[in-house]
Amino acid sequence: MDTVALAKRRYTTKAYDASRRIPQATIDALLEQLRHSPSSVNSQPWHFVVADSAEGKARIAKATEAFAYNTPKILNASHVIVFAARTDMTEAHLEAVLAQEAADGRFPTEQAKAGQDQTRRGYVNLHRFDQKDLQHWMEKQTYLAFGTALLGAAAHGLDATPIEGFDSKTLDAELGLREQGFTSVVVLSLGYRSEDDFNAGLSKSRLPASQVFTFL
């Protein structure tokens, strides 16, 4: 797979063909890739809400009232994913992650298991108490998953739109996220571009390598 070509080909889709649907096998593969996204100390402080019905997408679109230009990007897409971050790194979540790692055979000894648990808690406490940016840290991990989904979408031949223009308070209330210990961070629309998508024909623009890389 030529990941450079994928990065150059993908772009932010501005209009979707509402008549086209992503095959179930394709969306299943993308979601499995998303589930395997990296996160600091395997903390996985996220939850993903996937909408593929008109009703589900309409619920998400309620949060774009003040960002009307984003509403059709949600309603006309085939699928929409809400990326939510935890509002706290709870004891229950830490125990669940550790138990899953153990079930997946990551610990050859109890000492290795205890070491992983201690290391992860050390990072959590660093951000909770010392740097006091636990929420921001968890949202950064969620954006790692978001980047994984963007490149994955390109690999599957899908068009995608990153959406930050929405009211998180409205979306959290609509989906009951805060009651579940999460808050919405970013939204991703997925599908196939419309012929009316002006952005599809524009050249991609990035700063030159000489400005964005420093080699030591």
Between CA 161 and CA 137 the distance in angstroms is 24
57 noted as active-site residue: no
Q: Between 168-175 and 54-61, two packed helices, what is the crossing angle to 10 degrees?
A: 140
φ, ψ of residue 126 in degrees (nearest 5): -60, -45
Single out the residue of 133, 117, 149 nearest to residue 48, CA to CA.
149
DSSP codes of every residue in 116-136: HHHHHHHHHHIIIIIS--HHH
164 noted as active-site residue: yes
Asked if residues 106 and 120 have their Cβ atoms less than 8 Å apart, the reply is no
Between CA 201 and CA 132 the distance in angstroms is 44
Q: Which among 65, 132, 164, 204 is annotated as catalytic?
A: 164
Q: Which among 73, 91, 113, 195 is annotated as catalytic?
A: 73
From residue 10, alpha-carbon distances to 5, 151, 213 in Å are 9, 8, 22
H helices of the chain, in order, are 3-9, 24-35, 54-61, 71-75, 91-103, 110-125, 134-155, 168-175, 209-212
Per the listing, tokens 């501005």 go with 14
Task: Give catalytic residue positions.
Answer: 14, 73, 164
